[in-house]
Structure 1
Amino acid sequence: MVFAMMEDKWNFDEWAQSYDEDVKQENWIHKDYKKVLKLVAEKAKGIVVDIGCGTGNILRVIKCEQYIGVEPSGEMRRVFKEKWGFEPVNGHFLDILLPAETADTVITTYAFHHVPDGEKENAIKEMLRVLKHDGKIVIGDVMFESEEEKRRIGEEDGIAGEIEDEYFATVEHLREICERLGLEFTFEQINRYVWIAEMKRTTR
């Protein structure tokens, strides 16, 4: 139900037609888009599951044993197949339709901000479910250090309304989730808006 509501809100099917052009605009939300995809791809290995894969742009830079895209939008999946010759799995963050322990790496770029804050922990649990025990999660997306920082940047940059329309994570909140789930984690800030988070089960 949550993701059906999300599709209604953002109309992913309609967006599929212009998505590849939109991300080239290098606006604030897609600043350093190609760089972020490359950095995430470099962190991925083995069997990679990509949640919210869209039209599959990361396939231009990723090198892995096997790539499995997961995408809830039928039109995004259609465009993906036209570009790459195979179709992603129909699924989303809260229901990844793959067996447990499928992936060595679970990745997501510019998609986690569509998950409501109250569901982010469940989304991470579902990513952990399809992840092998020694695997890792890599999230590249717009994030902010805290809610206070999110408000400050929104006001300073004149994008408060755009920020409020999405569910951008805070590093503070994700740290709390990782600590509750007993995960090791790192956060790397790429620019004013985009961070890359890595999470894995503790080896201690």
Structure 2
Amino acid sequence: MGREFLDIFEEWAEEYDRSVTGHDPQYEAVFANYDAILNEVTNESFGNVLEFGVGTGNLSQKLLDAGLGVVGVEPSPAMRDIVMEKIPDLNIMDGDFISFPKPPMKIDTIVSTYAFHHLTDEEKEVAVKQFSNMLPTNGKVVFADTIFASNQVRKDIIANAHAKGYVDLVEDLNREYYTTIDVLKDMFERHHFMVSWKQMNDFVWILIANKK
């Protein structure tokens, strides 16, 4: 359920904002257009929003600034501490994509950035089924994540990162459960979503899934 990566989340907590703003060369391409990615997710969201993997609260703040109702789910105590200091009024709960407290209000949009890849494909499907059951007709899932157009693209990107000596990035790409567009498209369609995509950089695509 992604919690096997909790130690990594704790290590990342203090460095995350530095990385997303382009100060770590290994992850510069991963976080290219970061602000535009957050804006795109925000613009696609409506009503009451459930955010998984709040991290350091960067998307949460944009959603709140847009006037949306927001409740966050974050498994990392260190990340939650940072968010509670930055956004004291945010309702943030301990949980993950599969196991989380019942939100205090009806949810219209489910969002996440840079987090869904912490689940295996089998776990992703369990989560998507739950999203479908939770959302009303015309509700939305809007996820920005590292997703690959094909397995060959994934292999090429890993080879390129290896050639540049990006040891940490290569380790991440080999360890975590990155998947492909076709797999996610089929998965969401099986659970009554219509899916569209926007590519934001060489790594990140935004998945927009509308509940039928």
Alignment of 1:105-144 (within 5 A): 105-144=109-148
Alignment of 1:86-97 (within 5 A): 86=89, 87-97=91-101
| Amino acid corresponding to residue 31 of structure 1 in structure 2 | A
Q: Match of 2:3, as an amino acid?
A: A
1:80 aligns with 2:83: yes
Give the SS at the match of 2:50: strand
Farther-moved stretch of structure 1 (191-200 vs 20-29): 20-29
Structure 2 counterpart of 1:7:
6
Alignment-derived partner of residue 187 in structure 1? 197
Corresponding residue of 1:55: 56
Q: Please say if residues 54 and 60 of structure 2, whose CA atoms lie closer than 8 Å, have aligned partners that are also in contact.
A: no
Higher strand share: 1
CA contact (8 A) 1:99 1:130 kept: no
Question: Could you give the per-residue CA deviations for residues 104-137 of structure 1, whole angstroms, max 9, x where no partner exists?
Answer: 1100011111112221111212233332332100
Please give the secondary structure, in 2, of the residue aligned with 1:184: strand
In 1, Cα distance between the equivalents of 2:18 and 2:94? 23
Q: Is the 8 A contact 2:75 2:94 kept in 1?
A: yes
Aligned ranges for residues 165-204 of structure 1 at < 5 Å?
165-202=175-212
Whether 2:17 is the aligned partner of 1:20: answer yes
Structure 1 spans left out of the alignment, 5+ residues: none
Q: Which has the higher contact order (CA 8 A, sep 6+)?
A: 2
Separation in structure 1 between the aligned mates of residue 160 and residue 196 of structure 2, nearest angstrom: 27
Q: Secondary structure at the match of 1:134?
A: coil
**Residue in structure 2 matched with residue 69 of structure 1 by the alignment:** 72
On the 8 A contact 2:49/2:109 being kept in 1, the answer is: yes
Q: Which stretch shows the higher mean deviation, 74-83 or 24-33?
A: 24-33
Once structures 1 and 2 are overlaid, which stretch shifts more, 124-133 or 64-73? 124-133
Equivalent position of 1:31 in the other structure: 32
- 1:71, distance to aligned residue in structure 2 (A): 0.6
Using the TM superposition, give the Cα deviation of residue 157 of structure 1 relative to its aligned residue in structure 2, in angstroms: 4.0
Residue of structure 1 in register with 2:166 after alignment: none
Percent of aligned pairs with the same residue? 32
Q: Are 2:147 and 2:180, in contact at CA under 8 Å, matched by a contact in 1?
A: yes
Count how many residue pairs are aligned between Structure 1 and Structure 2. Answer: 199
Report the Cα distance in structure 1 between the residues aligned to 2:62 and 2:6, rounded to whole angstroms: 27
Note the aligned Cα RMSD (angstroms). Answer: 2.0
